[in-house]
Amino acid sequence: MSSTYINSKYHAIIKTLNEEPLITAYQRDELYRYIHGIVRNHDGRALQIGGREDHLHLLLGIHPETAVADMLRLIKANSSKWLNERGNCRGWFRWKPGYAAFTVSPAQVPKLQRFITNQEEVHRRMSCGHEYHRIIEKHGLEIEGGTSDCQRDTHAWLGFHFFFSTKQRMPLISSPLQERVFRTLAELVAEQQGRLLEVGGMPDHVHLLAEIPRTVAVADFLQTIKSTSSHRLDQVDGACSPFAWQRGYGAFSVSRSQMSVVSQYIQRQEEHHQGMSFDDELRKLLAEHGLAPQIPGRDAPNRR
């Protein structure tokens, strides 16, 4: 697999300092357009923005070389400066230091877009605090002290389905070596402060389901795993030498609610490949994520 395919979507929530109602209705559209520009200037896409006087929901596609923490820092710093320079806020505008950020599977995008668009209707039924609590709990996280009043509360769950192949798809991951390969990958995920949730594959490729830290870019996270693991595995006695991974990879964001589906898919790799080639599997995964196979010779990542 020489090409790179990425579909990374994030749902982020940012709140005003002390959750004060500083975002007036007449300035929201301009603020949304300004945030769209910030994200676009850093090679990302703001797919949906919505919110109320004290918070915003953002559905973002972030460049794989940008960590979600860095993108949200840029959005908050630049937008607060812009709002204060305009001078039409109800007070001195500042965002709360913390935020919430979660990865989103393709199947969940339309539902999330409707949720963000219909924020006014949502908040007829529940308070902003209740909404925030529900979203945090849905992702298996806890709010410090049982309240969202902590000035630096940050909550993140970033799950990714990664897959990549051995160089030239050579069957280097033989049965005796498979356990060592999987263990090495798990160790490297942990070394980067991530968490391996599932690993599986075939002699010529692997799949990982991993939770990654918010401060590390997807591309950097996987590049470290691939380069370091190939070096370590090349030193293993009995390994097919030299051990190397193909340059490209796939990286797809996963919603917390879809984690078990992806985990089962990885567990059943041998069953899948009884009637499906690697190329068939690749085409199927790309179709699910709205991506197209790249033309040989083109190096640019296929991203959504």
Q: Are residues 168 and 235 in the same domain?
A: yes
The answer to whether residue 279 sits within a structural domain is yes
pLDDT of 71 over the 50 cut: yes
Q: Are residues 184 and 198 in the same domain?
A: yes
User: Would you state the structure tokens that stand for residue 60, as one six-digit string?
Assistant: 């973002």
The pLDDT of residue 146 is 44
163-199 pLDDT per residue, tens: 999 998 898 888 888 999 999 999 999 999 999 999 9
pLDDT of 148 over the 60 cut: no
The one-letter amino acid code at 97 reads: P
Query: What count of other Cβ atoms lies within 10 Å of the Cβ of residue 52?
Result: 19
Q: Are residues 179 and 299 in the same domain?
A: yes
264: domain CATH number is 3.30.70.1290
pLDDT of 150 over the 60 cut: no
Q: Are residues 16 and 102 in the same domain?
A: yes
pLDDT of 239 over the 60 cut: no
| Residue that is last in its domain, among 124, 156, 188 | 156
The one-letter amino acid code at 258 reads: Q
Pair type for strands 159-165 and 205-211: antiparallel
Give helix 28-41 / helix 68-86 axis angle, nearest 10°: 140
Query: Which domain does 127 fall in, by range?
Result: 9-156
Q: Are residues 289 and 218 in the same domain?
A: yes
The pLDDT of residue 118 is 81
CA–CA distance, 51 with 16 (Å, rounded to integer): 11
- Number of domains making up the chain: 2
91-114 pLDDT per residue, tens: 688 999 999 999 999 989 999 999
Q: Are residues 22 and 149 in the same domain?
A: yes
The answer to whether residue 3 sits within a structural domain is no
Is the entire prediction scored with pTM above 0.75? yes
Question: Per-residue DSSP letters for 35-74?
Answer: HHHHHHHTT-EEEEEEEETTEEEEEEE--TTS-HHHHHHH
